[in-house]
Homo-oligomer: A and B are copies of this chain.
């Protein structure tokens, strides 16, 4: 039978990053393309202890359907964790567990924006938000970034012009800390300014904070959510426990949580109960506080290795110097299309994600995202050397 499909997926295209996977698996390839945590950071032994404990003490409920809003035990622990970790005050009724942060991005796009509506993004921004918007036929305008993140100074003018066009933005999406893909962090004054504008125009801010705990230099900056309770906050265990357990969370007002609940009943009914119990014990037993410093130590070293290799081997380009997270952003100082350049890089056995993947519209083609947390130290050095040659020959 020749199936007739709907038009709902017409705006979607397969993620450039996912398409890279086939190259990455070639022998000898050094890849800075992935977005995966380094598996050395996975506390496998601790998780083995926890799983045995969970199955012994909570087996029947850990294997049963859970409630749509998520395990109450986990939400109670998150209330304590998020206060201590990010100075965010909330109750368990404000926490909504999602199947990874990706589900939160999809659900929030759908809850806040009708097809054809517009939102405001940073440019570049996280690919998962772009695919969520495309899946919901939501349009966007973007605010550029500098080394201090979103150029909030340009935000109000943008909002005014959008309102004038009858397209008031439905939300503003930002990753203010160690941004993916750019690695930039927004300082406090810009955060305050962003909130001021959000309140003035009554446009909700969605703060995505997957990397906040992974700081390697500089001082902590308060989360937007800790500055203003109207902010909708996204957290995840993917970078501080294990991404395979697909456990993220939204912190928001009860009316937002109840909309998420309604939609999640259709999306997947409830999250994985077992993984939520694992996350619960991971918090409760304080394993998370042992694990984060180990992860920071590993990633900080790798960041430094990459920054040094870039200084040594790469000319005609500039790049961000992230204080944390997993990525840095490189801009070639010439009119070079990094998507086309990737073919040459693949020949030289080095891979990255072309910057164009991180723009909803109007990509800057001379950019690329480099992940510094996955490859071996020696491979980072070799890979950057190869990349320097590829750029030099461009």
Contact = CB atoms under 8 A, between A and B. Distances in A.
Contacts of A106: 266-268
A111 B8 contact: yes
Interface stretch (A46-54, A142-150, A287-295): A46-54
Chain A interface extent, by class: 35 or more
A52 B48 contact: yes
A102 B275 contact: no
A175 to B, nearest CB: 16
Copies of the chain in the assembly: 2
A183 B244 CA distance: 36
Contact of A63 (B42, B67, B135, B269): B42
A273 B245 CA distance: 6
A3 B5 CA distance: 34
Contact of A244 (B134, B267, B272): B272
A204 B9 CA distance: 18
A34 to B, nearest CB: 9
A119 to B, nearest CB: 11
A268 B268 contact: yes
A103 interface: yes
Nearest to A107: B267
Contact of A274 (B136, B245, B256): B245
B6 A112 contact: yes
Contacts of A64: 36-37, 39, 42, 242-244
A335 interface: no
A91 interface: no
A298 interface: no
B266 A267 contact: no
A18 interface: yes
Contacts of A204: 1, 3
A47 B58 CA distance: 13
A115 to B, nearest CB: 8
A75 interface: no
Contacts of A333: none
A265 to B, nearest CB: 5
Nearest to A64: B244
A208 interface: no
Given A243-B65, A245-B274, A267 B102 contact: yes
A66 to B, nearest CB: 6
Interface in A71-106: 99-100, 102-103, 105-106
Contacts of A18: 68, 265
A63 B36 contact: no
Contacts of A340: none
23 contacts: A2-B202, A3-B256, A6-B111, A6-B117, A14-B265, A39-B63, A42-B63, A44-B55, A47-B55, A47-B59, A51-B52, A52-B52, A63-B245, A66-B244, A99-B246, A100-B270, A102-B269, A103-B267, A128-B269, A135-B266, A242-B274, A244-B273, A246-B270
